[in-house]
Amino acid sequence: MPTFERLEGAVHCDGLPLAELAERFGTPLYVYSAESIITRYREVDDAFRGYPHRLHYALKANSTLGIARLVRSLGAAADANSGGEIDVALRAGFTPPEIVFTGVGKTATELHRAIDLGLRSINAESEGEIERIDAIAAARGTTARVAVRVNPDIDARSHPHISTGLKTNKFGVAISDAREMCLRMRGRRGLRIVGLHSHVGSQITQLEPLRRAAEALVTLARELKDAGITIEHLDIGGGLGISYEGQPVPTAAEYANSVLPIVRESGLDLILEPGRFLVGQAGVLVARVVDIKPQAGGKLFVIVDAGMTELMRPMLYGAYHRIEHVQSVSRPDAICDVVGPICETTDTLGKDRRLAQPEVGDLMAVFDAGAYGAVMASNYNRRPMPAEVLVQNGEATVIRRRQTIDDLVALES
Ligand SMILES: Cc1ncc(COP(=O)(O)O)c(C=O)c1O
């Protein structure tokens, strides 16, 4: 059964009508399907079966505790991108040896905490950062496990704002410098180089950049071995894209078939950091139409009660999200700009969408909003963050209650 299907004209999430959930929990509302996350997790895990690997779920995609706990229950470990995500990972039940810590610009406080916890690895971004890790760990009489994030100068062919693997991007140590740098770091008291890491971007829909990035890591691992530096793992990051517009995208099996033959040669443990692929399709944002305005040329503005404060992707990257009526209606089609209520012209969820003419009070579903949706929500215009609901085994559970104005001002004096 597809996660979100239309039954007798009404979109359901794993058997529950979205309209009923919107009535119960209000709008705007995020609804997630546990079943979808479970299926996607197994797809990736099965694809890599037979080779020692671990999926470190990229919390940045969706770190609501209920989602993190669900992914953990499936056997995942975690990829945290900040001190906050490390804490969320711990609260979700991940143990320190199950957490890798990635991220440009780790603060001294974050590094102290990561070293004290003894994470599986700190994915270091620069020589300066590695030196700081060494100094902190040595002063504490301990040894930090470090993986070097390498920038392989590979074009992920994704949106420029989510491409991270070109030498002009801020991420990682240039591949051309990495070997020499590792040699310089050899023998440092506070360090143990346990891995190599790369993540060349997100929403990648061609396998070639991912394969080339894996190749770059394997080659570097071999060079290090020849120089007497033996590591434990290769971390090939996340990045596998999903189909927002119905376009064909690689399956997890195709991804595995493309990178595994390369990685196998190294014999090293493999870490993957999927985010979007696991949770992107599992979420829908439900919004209610609050106003309709005619535009020149017969188009309509359909103003809904969700916007860039709930889902930033269209405004950040010009990302496309399918938008449909939650309940089918038989009205003539209209070309609509589905916009939010925020006081910014960019606040547009979908442009030029053909929809059966919406009316005030209708519910609209914005699909594929499970990744980089709720996590990027903001309080701009003093809007409380939306509620999030997880549907599992025919039951809907609030995994994040709607914020109140009291929550919003609680930190202020
Ligand atoms: C280091 C790192 N790992 C994993 C991910 C997850 O990427 P995705 O959600 O595209 O799988 C990201 C996100 O860009 C990232 O920066």
Name the amino acid, one letter, at 136. I
Mean pLDDT of the chain: 95
User: What is the per-residue pLDDT for 163?
Assistant: 66
Contacts of 81 (CB under 8 A, 6+ apart): 58, 59, 60, 101, 102, 103
- pLDDT digit string (tens) for 25-73? 999 999 999 999 999 999 999 999 999 999 999 999 999 999 999 999 9
CA 130 to ligand 1 center in whole angstroms: 21
Task: Give the integer Cα–Cα distance in Å for 350 and 338.
Answer: 5
Spell out the SS3 assignment of 175-204.
HHHHHHHHHHHCCCCCEEEEEEECCCECCE
Instruction: Please report the atom of ligand 1 found closest to the CA of residue 276.
Output: 9
Please state, in angstroms and rounded to a whole number, the distance separating the CA atoms of residues 366 and 59.
Answer: 22
| Closest Cα to atom 16 of ligand 1 | 199
Ligand 1: atom nearest CA of 197 is: 1
Q: How far apart are the first and last CA of the chain?
A: 51
Nearest residue (by CA) to ligand 1, atom 13, is 202
Residue located via tokens 């979700």: 92
**Are 284 and 366 within 8 A, CB to CB?**
yes
The predicted pLDDT at position 172 comes to 84
For residue 277, which atom of ligand 1 is closest to its CA? 11
Residues within 6 Å of ligand 1 by CB = 58, 60-61, 79, 102, 199, 202, 237-240, 273-277, 371
Best residue among 199, 207, 281 to mutate for probing ligand 1's pocket (most ligand atoms within 8 Å of CB) is: 199
Please tell me the distance between residue 359's alpha carbon and the centre of ligand 1 in angstroms.
Answer: 38
- Ligand 1: residue of 44, 60, 171, 278 to mutate (most ligand atoms within 8 A of CB) is 60
Between the CA of 46 and the centroid of ligand 1 the distance, in Å, is 20
Catalytic residue set: 343
Q: Which two tokens stand for residue 80?
A: 């945290």
- Give the residues across from 193 on adjacent strands: 146
Q: What is the CA radius of gyration of the chain?
A: 23
Name the helix (H) or strand (E) containing 134: helix 127-139
Report how far apart, in Å, the C-alpha atoms of 240 and of each of 54, 178, 360, 388 are. 16, 25, 38, 25
Residues of the chain with confidence (pLDDT) below 70: 1, 156, 162-163
pTM of the model: 0.96
Q: How much is the pLDDT for 61?
A: 98
Token digits of residue 265? 């040669």
Task: Give the model confidence (pLDDT) of 369-413 as tens digits.
Answer: 999 999 999 999 999 999 999 999 999 999 999 999 999 999 999
What does the pLDDT read at residue 2? Answer: 72
- The minimum-distance atom of ligand 1 relative to the CA of 162 is 14
pLDDT recorded at residue 284: 98
Whole-number Å distance, alpha carbon 79 to ligand 1 midpoint, is 9
Q: If DSSP codes are grouped into helix, strand and coil, which group holds residue 43?
A: helix
- Centre of ligand 1 to C-alpha 272, Å, is 10
By C-alpha distance, which of 143, 130, 155 is closest to 208?
A: 155
Supply the pLDDT for residue 153: 78
Alpha helices in 171-285 (DSSP H): 175-185, 207-226, 252-264, 276-279
Beta-strand ranges (E) seen in 310-374 are 323-325, 333-339, 348-356, 363-366
If one counts every other C-beta atom within 10 angstroms of the C-beta of residue 211, the result is 18
pLDDT at site 28: 98
Index of the ligand 1 atom closest to the CA of residue 203: 10
Count how many Cα atoms sit within 13 Å of the Cα of residue 338 in the half-sphere of its side chain. Answer: 33
pLDDT at res. 166: 72
**3-state SS class at 37:** helix
Give the model's pLDDT for residue 228. 95
Distance (angstroms) between ligand 1 centre and the Cα of 201 equals 7
